[in-house]
Amino acid sequence: MHSFLSLIAEEDVPQETIDDLKRKMVTRKVPKGHILLRKGDKNSKAYFVKSGCLRSYAIDEKDKEHIIMFAPEGWFISDIDTVANRNSAQLYIDAIEDSEVEILDSELINVFVASTPLALQKLNNRIAVLQKRIIMLMSATLQDRYIDFLETYPEIVQRVPQKMIASYLGVTPEALSKVRGELLKTKDEH
């Protein structure tokens, strides 16, 4: 099982920061379907996934879900604007599997970011993934976006319903099914 504290134990983090995290960080079991964050909440928390899988998503005016990201074991998930700027949440975050998460409030996150290069690296990685995702959504074919999904989330492709993968890719489940079939056919021909 992953743990945020074991992740930072290998870094040059001041002991007082680790002790502060141990005292203030909350670990919680979250059942499948439980919503941790709703649009409009003032929840300035980030979630580190110890086990299970979470997702963040937006719901448009037609009640259609648009998945922003998945967070399997070892990943962080939050509404960055809510954590960084204390604005109302724009996203929902829920558990798509029974999960266990470590909850860090914005104060803990700020202390951590100020005290270790690992935090900056994690943040930069998250920004890079989101930037790549935006570029892919604007310019890549569905097949390329699906291949990128498989490379980004290899451990969850069998754990996440196809309709959620389709939402993440911005297509219908039928379009995703067609691309998956084409990829299998191409793979069989080689």
- Indicate which CATH number applies to the domain containing 74: 2.60.120.10
The larger pLDDT score, comparing residue 96 to residue 130, is at 96
Report the b/e string of 57-67 with b at 16+ CB within 10 A.
beeeeeeeeeb
Rounded to the nearest integer, the mean pLDDT of the chain is 86
Confidence at residue 116, expressed as pLDDT on a 0 to 100 scale: 64
Give the pLDDT of residue 130.
79
Residues near 100 by beta carbon (within 8 Å), at least 6 away in sequence: 1, 27, 28, 29, 30, 49, 50, 51, 52
Domain annotation covers residue 111: yes
Q: Is residue 175 part of a domain?
A: no
* pLDDT tens-digit readout, 118-162: 666 776 677 777 778 888 888 899 999 999 999 989 989 999 999
Q: Flag whether 166 is in a domain.
A: no
Torsion region of 63: left, alpha or beta (phi above 0 gives left; psi -120 to 50 gives alpha): left
Structural domain contains residue 151: no
83 or 42, which is more confident?
Answer: 42
**Confidence category of residue 163, pLDDT binned at 50, 70, 90:** very high
Q: Mean of the pLDDT values across residues 60-84? A: 89
143 domain-assigned = no
**Residue 172 belongs to a domain:** no
pLDDT-derived band at 114 (thresholds 50, 70, 90) equals low
Residue 68 is predicted with a pLDDT of 92
Decide if pLDDT at 59 tops 70. Answer: yes
Average pLDDT in the 100-120 region? 74
Q: What percent of the chain stands above pLDDT 90?
A: 52
Question: Using N-to-C axis directions, what is the helix angle for 142-152 and 162-169, rounded to 10°?
Answer: 120
Number of domains in the chain: 1
Q: Model pTM greater than 0.95?
A: no
Range of the domain at 12: 4-116
| pLDDT value at residue 35 | 97
